[in-house]
Structure 1
Amino acid sequence: MEKVEREIVEPVRGINMKSTKAGLSKMIEILFKKIEHVLIQKGILIFLIGFLLGRAFILSHLSPFYLPFFAAVLILRKQHAPLALLGVISGAMTISLGVAAHSFLLSFSFLLFFKVTKLGDYNPYKVLPISIFAFLLIGKIVGSFITSGFFSLYDIMMGSVEACLGYILTLIFLQSIPLLAAKKRKQALKTEEIVCLIILLASVMTGTIGWTVYDVSIEHVMSRYLVLIFAFVAGATVGSTVGVVTGLIFSLANISSFFHMSLLAFSGLLGGLLKEGKKPGVAIGLFISTLLIGMYDQGSQNLVISLYESFAAILLFFITPRSLTSRIAKYIPGTSEYAAEQQLYLRKVRDVTAKRVNQFSAVFQALSNSFQQIENQDDEDEYRELDYFLSNVTEKTCQTCFKKDNCWAKNFSTTYEGMSRIMQELDTNDGQLSHKLKRDWDKHCTRSNKVIEAIGQELTLYQANQKLKKQVKESRKLVANQLLGVSEVMGNFAKEIQKERESHEAQEDQILEALQTFGLDITQVDIFSLTQGNVDIEMTIPDMYANGECEKLIAPLLSDICGEHIMVHSKDQAFPTGDIHVTFRSAKRYTVTTGVAHAAKDGGLVSGDSYSTIELGLGKYAIAISDGMGNGERAHHESNETLQLLRKILLSGIEEKVAIKSVNSILSLRTTDEIFSTLDLAIIDLQDASSRFLKIGSTPSFIKRGSQVKKIQASNLPIGIIQEFEVDVVSEQLKAGDLLVMMSDGVFEGPRHVENYEQWMKRKLTELRTDDPQEIADLIMEEVIRSGTGEISDDMTIVVAKVQHNTPKWAAIPFNLTKKKAQ
C-alpha cells in the first residue's frame, strides 16, 4: 500500500513542483516587464542616471558628465528632458548648493541657447559636441572668476580639459542613450556601441563614489557586478574590455582606485575564460582575481574588505534573472543567444517566404482547375449549339410551311434526326449528301431542297464558329497545363527553401576529427542531408585552405565517410570575415561527353539547324536539335528561338512535356505564317543513366552499344503546325559506354542513291572503329557529304553523346587508416 501511494504521490509532487517553478518564473518575468516599463517609458531611469551623473566628478573638481547627458536627452528624448534636468540638479545638491547652482545655471543657459538657435534642426553629431565644448569652457572660466574674482592660466587649462571631456562624452551619450531608452531593438550592437554603453554605465557608477555600507564600497560592488555580467554574457574579450574601461574611468574619478582597474580587467578576462562553468565559473574568476590583485594592496584589512565587495557583487550576480542576461546576449555578436536569435529570424523569414510561395502555388492551381472546369462546360454546350443551329434553319424554312405542325408537332423526332443527319453528312462529306438520305428527306419534307440549302449556309457559319471555339478551347487547355506546371514548380521550390538542417552530431564530430587529423582547422560543419545520392554538407573554412585542399583532401575524405563520391559543388566568399563557405554534394554517377558536326546548305555561313546541350539543375543532361523550315537566316531564327524558349522553360523546373507544349503554343500563336520547326530532345538522368526521348517531327536517333545499333523513333508533328497535340515519350535505359547519335534530316536523308536510310546509317555506325564522340560526328558528316558527290544539299547537324561512369579525379581517403597513421 505504501509503495502504491509513493508511486502515485511522487509524480504528482514532481508535477506540482514543475508547475510551481514555471508559475514563479512567469511571475518574475511579468514583474520584470512592469519594472522595465516604469523605468524606461516613464523616464525614471533617465532621472536616476541624471542624479548619479550630477554627483560624478573627475580629479575631485571636474564635472564634465551632467551637461552632455542633459543635452543628449534634450535631442533624443525631449519628453524626458525635464526629468533629466531635475535628476542632475538633485544629484548636484548632494554635493553642495554651489555645485547645484552652477549646474542649474549652465544647464538653463544651454536650454535657452537650444531654443533660440533651434539647435535641434541641425545634425546633432556635428553641432551639439561643439556647443557643449564652448559652454563647459566658458562656464568653468566664469565660475572661477565669480568665486575668486579672477581666472588664471590654470583655470583655462582645467576648463579646456573639462570641455574636451564634455565633447567626447557628448558623442558617447548620443550613441549610448538610445540603447537604454529603446523599448525594442532588433539589430546587434556594434563594438563602438558596446564601448559607449560601458562608458555611460561606468560614468553613472562614479556618482556612487563615497557611498559605503559597513566599509563596503558601493562603487566597487557595482563595477565588479558589471564585469561579471558582461564576462558571463560575452566572454573574455568583452569582459576584459569592460573591466579596463570601467577601471580607467574610476581611476580618473579617484586616483586611489587605480589598482581597481587591474582587478576589473583581470576578473573580466578570467571570468570570461571560465564562462563554460556557468555563473559559478565566472564567480570563481572574480574571486581568484580579488585574491591575486589584493595581495599587492596595503595590508590584509583591505584584502578582507575587497573580498566582501566581491562576495556582494557575486550575490547580485547570482540573483540576476536569466532572462536579463539572455536579453543582453541577444544583441552581442558571437554569443550563442545572438546566433539563436539570428537563426530564429532567418527561419521566420524562410517560413514566411515558403508560405507565400505556397499561396502563389495554390493560386495557380486554382486557375488551372478553373480553366479545366470551363472546358468541361464547353462539352456540355455542344448539344445546345446543335439546337440553336436547327432553330436558325427552321426559322428560314419551316416557319412559312403549311406542314409545319405535321413535321414538328406530330413527327418531331423524325424531323429533328433527319436534319441532324443532313448536317453531319454535309459537314463530313464536303457539302455532299448520299442519295439515300436525299431520297428519304424528299419524301418527308415538301421543301427539301430549300432546307438542305439553308443547312449548308448555316453550316458554313457553324464550322467557322466551331473552329474558333476549338482554338479557344485548346488555348485554355494549354494555359491550364502551363499554370499547373508553374504551380508544381513553385510547390517544389517552397519545399526546397524549407529544407531544415538535420541532426547529425556524430557524423559532424567524425568529420571534424578527420579534418583535424590532417591538420586542417575547420571552424564549422553543417550536414543537411546524408541520403544516398543526395548528400548535402556545408563547411566554413579559412581562406588559406582555398588552394585545392577542398578538392584534394576534404572531398576525398568525405567520400570515404559517406560511402559515395563527394565533390565540391560551390564556393562563396564570406564577408567580412574572409572565410569561405564550401558546399559538398554527391557526385553524379555518370557523365556525358558530346561531339558536334554541322554544315550549312551549299557551304553557307548560316544554318537553319540549331543545337544545344543543357545541364539541368536536377542532375539531368539535355541534348536538343531543332531544324527550322527551309534554310538561311529565317530558318536559323526559328530553330534557335525554339531552343532558347525550351532551354529557359526546362531550367525553370517545368516537366519536359509541358515545356514542349508551351513552346509549341507560343510558336503557333505568335504568327499566321506557315512556319514550323522540328525538335529532337533527349534527357539523360546522370544518376541512373535512364533517358527520355521526345521527337517532334524529327528524324530517328540511334543508340550504339558495342556492335549493336538501336533506332529511337516517335511520331509527332513539327512544332508550330497545330496548337494542341500529344507528345509521345520514348524511354530507354542507357549504360556506360553507350553512344547516342542524334541528327537532323539533312544528315539522315543526305546520302544519295540510298533506298533505306535507316539501314545505311546503322551500317556506318557499326563499321566505326572509334568511340570518341567528336571523331564519330566528323566521320558520319564526311560520309554523308561524300555520298552526295561532295554537295551539301541541306543544312546538316549531328550530335554524338557518350555515357560514361563518373570517375573522380581524387580517390577516397580511408578515415580509419588516417587515424592509425596519426596514432
Structure 2
Amino acid sequence: MEKIEHSVMEPARNVDMENTRLEFSKGMKFIQAKLEWFFIQKGVALFIIGFLLGRALILSHLTPFALPFFASVYIVRRDRSPLALIGLLAGSLTISLANISYTFVVTVLFLLTFRLTQNYRKSDMKAVPFFVFFSSLFATLAFDYMGQAQTLTIYNGVMALVEASLTFILTYIFIQSIPLVTVNRQRVSLKTEEVVSLIILLASVMTGTIGWSLYNLSIEHILSRYLVILFSLIAGATVGSTVGVVTGLIFSLASVSSLYQMSLLAFSGLLGGLLKEGKKIGAAIGLLIATLLIGMYGESDPNLTKTLYESGVAILLLFLTPQSLMSKIAKHIPGTAEHMQEQQHYMRKVRDVTADRVTQFSSVFQALSNSFKQMEKQFDEEQEEKEFDYFLSNVTERTCQMCFKKEQCWSRNFDETYNLMKTVMTEYDEGNIPLSPRIGRELDNHCVKAKKVQDAIYQELTFYQANLKLKKQVQESRRLVAEQLSGVSVVMEDFAREIQRERENHQIQEEQIHRALQELGIDIENVEIYSLEQGSVDIDMITPYCGGHGQGEKLIAPMLSGILAETIIVQKEDCASFPNGQCHVTFRSAKKFVIDTGVAHAAKGGGLISGDSYSMIELGAGKYAVAISDGMGNGERAHYESSETLSLLQKILETGIDEQVAIKSVNSILSLRTDDEIFSTLDLAMIDLQDASSRFLKIGSTPSFIKRGDKVVKIEAGNLPMGIFDDVDVDVVSEQLKAEDLLIMMSDGAFEGPKHVENYDLWMKRKVKELKTDDPQEVADIIMEEVIRSSGGLIEDDMTIVVSKIKHNIPKWTSIPVQNMKPKSKKQIS
C-alpha cells in the first residue's frame, strides 16, 4: 500500500517542483526587468557613474573624467545629461568646494561654446572632443591663474595641457562605452574597441572609490580584483589580462602607491583565464596564486595578510554573482561560447526567416499551378455543349429567325429540332458530304428551309471547329504553365527544406580527425564537418601550403576513407600560390559509379558545322545526363537550334526541376520562339551515379543500344520532335544499368546512314554485338567508320555517336588505417 501511495504521489511532487521552478524563474525575470528599468531606463546608473567619476583623480589633483563623461552623455542621451551632471557635482563635492566649482564652470563653458557654434558644425560627434579639449584647457588655466595670485608658470601650462589631452582621449572612449550602459541594444556583438572602452570606463569609475575602506580593506582593490577575475572567467586569459593591465594602469595613475597592483591584476587575469575550465573555483585559485606570488615581493606579513583578505572578499563576490548575469555579459564579448551560441541563434533566425519566405513563394507558385489546373478541369463536356449552343444560335439566327414555323419547331418540338441539327452537324464534321439519305429525308420532312439550314450549318461549322481548336490550345498552354509552376514550387520547397537543415555539432569528430592527422605528421589549421550522412559526407579543411603535391588527395582523403568507412575524394581544392599561404580543401563522398564517354561526329559532306549537338552534364543531385539534339536540316541554323535546345535543357535541369517538366518547358519555348518550321529532336539519358538506374526520354530521336557482354538491348520511344506542337508527349523508359555496360546513343544520320540496308535495327545490333573493344571512344569511332563505309564513303547527313561506359568508381588511392582509431560508421562516430 505504501508503494502504491508513493508511486501516485511522486509524479505530483515532480509537477509541484516544476511549477515552483517556473514561478521562481518568472519572478527572477520580473525582478531583473525592474532593475534594468530602474537603473538603465531611469538613468540611475548614469547618476552613480557620474558620482564616482566626479571623485576620480589622476596624479592627486587632475580631474579629466568629469567633462568627457558629461559631454558623451550629452551627445548620446541628451535627456539624461542633467542627471549625469548632478552625479558629477555630487561626487566633486565630496573632494572639495574648489573641485565642484571647477566641474560646474568647465561644464557650463562647454555647453555655451557648443550651443553657440551649433550652426557652424556638420557633425557633433566629430566636433565634441575638440570642444572638450579647449574647454578643459581654458578652465584649468583660468582656475590656476586665479588661485596663484594672477600668475601662471610653465608647470601650470604643462599640467593643463596634459589634463586637456586626457579629456580629449577619454571623450572618444566614453562616446563608445556610454551606449553600452544606457541603451538596451538589440545587437549583442561588441567590437574589440567597444570592449576595451567599456573596461576603461569601469576602471575609471572604480578610481572614484580610492580612499574608501571597509574593515580596513580597500574597496578599490576588492572591486578591481573582482572585475578582473569576472572577465577572465567569462572571456579567458586574453581579455582577463587586458582588463588587469588597463585597470592597474589607471589605478597607478590615480595613486602611485598602487603601481604594484597592475602586476597583480594582470597576473590574476592571466591565471584566472588559464584556469577558467575549473569554473569559479579555477578563477579563484588563479587570483590567490597571483596574490601570494606578487604580494611576497617587498611586502611585510601584515600587508600580505590584508591583500589576501581583499582577494578573499573579491572571490566571495565572484561566487555571489549569478550565472545568468555572467552569461548575459558573455554574450556581448566575441570569442566566448555564449557569444557563438548567440550568433548561431541569430543565424538560425535568419535561416528560418529565409526558409519561410522561400516556402511562401513555393506556396504561391503551387496556388497558381492549382488555379491553372482548375481552369483546365472546367473545359469538359459541359463546355463543349455550351460551344455547340453558341454554334446553333448562329445557325438559327440566319435560318429560323424569320421562318413562319419557328414557334412549331422550337417551342413545341424543341428536343427533336435540337437533336436533328446536332446530327446534321456531326455528319458534316465526320466528312459525310452530302448528307446520308436518311438524315436528308428527316431534315426535309421536319424543316421547310432544309437547304438553307444545311448551308448555314456547313458554313458555321468551320468557325465552330476553329474556335474549339483555339480554346483547346489555350487549355493545353494553361496545363503546361501549371506543370511548370508546379515544378518550380517543388524545387523551391526542396530548397527551403535544405535551408532548414541545421548544421550538426561535430566538435568531437573534428577533434578526432584533427588528432589523427597530427599523428600522421600532417599539420591542419582547421577542420569543419558539415555532414557525416552516408553517401553525403561534407568536410572542409584548411591546410598549410603543400607545394602542389596533392596532399589532400594522396594522404588526407585516404585517411578519411579509413575513418568513415566509405570512399572520400577531394571535390575542390584551392591551393595557396605562396609558401606562407593556406590551402582550402573540400572532401565529399565518392559516387559508386562513374561515366566514361567517347564521341564521334561528322558534318554533312565533311563540312565544319554540324546540325547535331551533344552534351554530357554532371548534375549536383548525383545524376549524370547524356543528351543528343538534332536540329532540322543541316548547317549553321540547324546547329543553332540543336545547341540552343541543349543549353536551355541544361540550365533547367541544373535547377533541380524534373526532366519531364524540363523537356516540356524547352518545347514550349521553342514552339513560341519563332514561326519558322524549325524543329529539334532530343535524346536524353539520365543516369543515377549511386545505383546506376537510368531514365531515357526520346523526343523524335532514334533508338539507343545497351551492350552488356554479348547481349544488346534496344531502347526506343515514339514521340514527335520538339517545337512542332505546343504540347509534347514524353514517354519515359526506365532501365537498370550495370557496371561495364556500354550505352550507345546516336542521331538519325548515323542510325539511317548505311545504304542498301532494309532493317536498320538489326544491322546496328549486329555491329554493336561484333565489337571487340569496350573503350567508349574506340567504340564510337568504329561505329562511325562502319556507317560511313557502308554508305560508300559519303556523309549525306550530320552524324553524331555518343558512347558512355558505366564503371564502378575505384579510388586512385586506397584507404589509410589510422592508429588507435578503427574505421567507424557515421552512427558510431556520431
Q: What range describes the TM-score normalised by the shorter chain of this pair?
A: over 0.9
Deviations 1:548-587, CA, capped at 9 Å, x for gaps:
443333322332233221223346899xx98777543321
Residue 526 (structure 1) shift: 5.7
CA distance in structure 1 between the partners assigned to 2:508 and 2:173 by the alignment: 47
8 Å Cα contact 1:540/1:579 also seen in 2? no
The 3 A distance-change label for structure 1 pair 620 and 120 is farther
Once the two structures are superposed, the pairs formed by residues 153-168 of structure 1 within 5 Å of their partners are 153-168=154-169
Partner of 2:704: 701
Partner of 1:55: 55
The 3 A distance-change label for structure 1 pair 531 and 111 is closer
DSSP 3-state at the match of 2:378: helix
8 Å Cα contact 1:741/1:800 also seen in 2? yes
Deviations 1:419-447, CA, capped at 9 Å, x for gaps:
21221221221755334433443344332
Residue 349 of structure 1 pairs with residue 350 of structure 2:
yes
The 3 A distance-change label for structure 1 pair 157 and 521 is same
The amino acid of 2:185's aligned partner reads: K
CA distance in structure 2 between the partners assigned to 1:402 and 1:185 by the alignment: 88
DSSP 3-state at the match of 2:379: helix
The 3 A distance-change label for structure 1 pair 540 and 592 is closer
Residue 438 of structure 1 pairs with residue 440 of structure 2:
yes
DSSP 3-state at the match of 2:617: strand
The amino acid of 1:632's aligned partner reads: G
Once the two structures are superposed, the pairs formed by residues 296-695 of structure 1 within 5 Å of their partners are 296-379=297-380, 380-429=382-431, 432-502=434-504, 510-520=512-522, 529-533=531-535, 535-544=536-545, 548-570=550-572, 583-695=586-698
8 Å Cα contact 2:773/2:779 also seen in 1? yes
Partner of 2:233: 232
The 3 A distance-change label for structure 1 pair 350 and 179 is same
What RMSD in Å do the two structures reach over aligned CA positions? 2.6
DSSP 3-state at the match of 1:802: strand
The 3 A distance-change label for structure 1 pair 40 and 582 is farther
Q: Which blocks of at least 5 consecutive residues in structure 1 are unaligned?
A: none
The 3 A distance-change label for structure 1 pair 546 and 326 is farther
CA distance in structure 2 between the partners assigned to 1:119 and 1:544 by the alignment: 58
The 3 A distance-change label for structure 1 pair 644 and 528 is same
CA distance in structure 1 between the partners assigned to 2:721 and 2:808 by the alignment: 35
The 3 A distance-change label for structure 1 pair 275 and 8 is farther
CA distance in structure 2 between the partners assigned to 1:696 and 1:163 by the alignment: 85
- Greater shift in the superposed pair: 61-70 or 251-260: 61-70
Partner of 1:182: 183
The 3 A distance-change label for structure 1 pair 276 and 18 is farther
CA distance in structure 1 between the partners assigned to 2:570 and 2:183 by the alignment: 46
DSSP 3-state at the match of 2:743: strand
The amino acid of 2:440's aligned partner reads: K
Partner of 2:826: none
- Greater shift in the superposed pair: 147-156 or 811-820: 811-820
Alignment match of 2:727 (pick from 724, 730, 740): 724
8 Å Cα contact 2:538/2:589 also seen in 1? no
The 3 A distance-change label for structure 1 pair 435 and 183 is same
Residue 144 of structure 1 pairs with residue 144 of structure 2:
yes
CA distance in structure 1 between the partners assigned to 2:671 and 2:27 by the alignment: 71
DSSP 3-state at the match of 1:378: coil
8 Å Cα contact 1:431/1:456 also seen in 2? no
The 3 A distance-change label for structure 1 pair 311 and 687 is same
Alignment match of 2:715 (pick from 712, 716, 722): 712
Partner of 2:745: 742
8 Å Cα contact 1:271/1:284 also seen in 2? yes
Residue 19 (structure 1) shift: 3.7
Partner of 1:273: 274
CA distance in structure 2 between the partners assigned to 1:615 and 1:683 by the alignment: 10
CA distance in structure 2 between the partners assigned to 1:676 and 1:62 by the alignment: 91
CA distance in structure 1 between the partners assigned to 2:475 and 2:11 by the alignment: 69
The 3 A distance-change label for structure 1 pair 406 and 10 is closer
8 Å Cα contact 1:752/1:787 also seen in 2? yes
- Greater shift in the superposed pair: 472-481 or 636-645: 636-645
Deviations 1:224-247, CA, capped at 9 Å, x for gaps:
111122111101110111011101
- Greater shift in the superposed pair: 10-19 or 180-189: 10-19
CA distance in structure 1 between the partners assigned to 2:110 and 2:404 by the alignment: 113
8 Å Cα contact 1:536/1:583 also seen in 2? no
Residue 541 (structure 1) shift: 3.5
DSSP 3-state at the match of 1:633: helix
CA distance in structure 1 between the partners assigned to 2:799 and 2:490 by the alignment: 38
The 3 A distance-change label for structure 1 pair 329 and 460 is same
CA distance in structure 2 between the partners assigned to 1:503 and 1:43 by the alignment: 42
The 3 A distance-change label for structure 1 pair 656 and 7 is closer
8 Å Cα contact 2:525/2:544 also seen in 1? no
CA distance in structure 1 between the partners assigned to 2:822 and 2:759 by the alignment: 65
Deviations 1:463-489, CA, capped at 9 Å, x for gaps:
111111011011011011111111111
The 3 A distance-change label for structure 1 pair 482 and 804 is same
DSSP 3-state at the match of 2:161: helix
DSSP 3-state at the match of 2:561: helix
User: Matched residue pairs, number?
Assistant: 817
CA distance in structure 1 between the partners assigned to 2:298 and 2:119 by the alignment: 49
DSSP 3-state at the match of 1:735: coil
CA distance in structure 1 between the partners assigned to 2:706 and 2:217 by the alignment: 93
Residue 776 (structure 1) shift: 2.3
Report the TM-score when normalising by structure 1: 0.94
Q: Percent identity?
A: 62
Q: Which blocks of at least 5 consecutive residues in structure 2 are unaligned?
A: 824-830
8 Å Cα contact 2:545/2:575 also seen in 1? no
The 3 A distance-change label for structure 1 pair 587 and 408 is same
8 Å Cα contact 2:113/2:131 also seen in 1? no
- Greater shift in the superposed pair: 309-318 or 247-256: 309-318
Residue 772 (structure 1) shift: 2.1
Residue 61 (structure 1) shift: 1.5
Partner of 1:755: 758
The 3 A distance-change label for structure 1 pair 546 and 30 is farther
Deviations 1:222-276, CA, capped at 9 Å, x for gaps:
1111112211110111011101110111011111111111111111111111211
Partner of 1:133: 133
- Greater shift in the superposed pair: 803-812 or 545-554: 545-554
Report the TM-score when normalising by structure 2: 0.93
CA distance in structure 1 between the partners assigned to 2:569 and 2:651 by the alignment: 27
The 3 A distance-change label for structure 1 pair 310 and 15 is farther
CA distance in structure 1 between the partners assigned to 2:119 and 2:277 by the alignment: 49
Residue 309 (structure 1) shift: 1.4
DSSP 3-state at the match of 1:339: helix
CA distance in structure 2 between the partners assigned to 1:705 and 1:508 by the alignment: 44
Residue 513 (structure 1) shift: 4.7
The 3 A distance-change label for structure 1 pair 578 and 493 is farther
8 Å Cα contact 1:234/1:335 also seen in 2? yes
Residue 676 (structure 1) shift: 1.1
The amino acid of 2:97's aligned partner reads: L
CA distance in structure 2 between the partners assigned to 1:261 and 1:10 by the alignment: 56
The 3 A distance-change label for structure 1 pair 728 and 141 is same
- Greater shift in the superposed pair: 482-491 or 149-158: 149-158
The 3 A distance-change label for structure 1 pair 787 and 707 is same
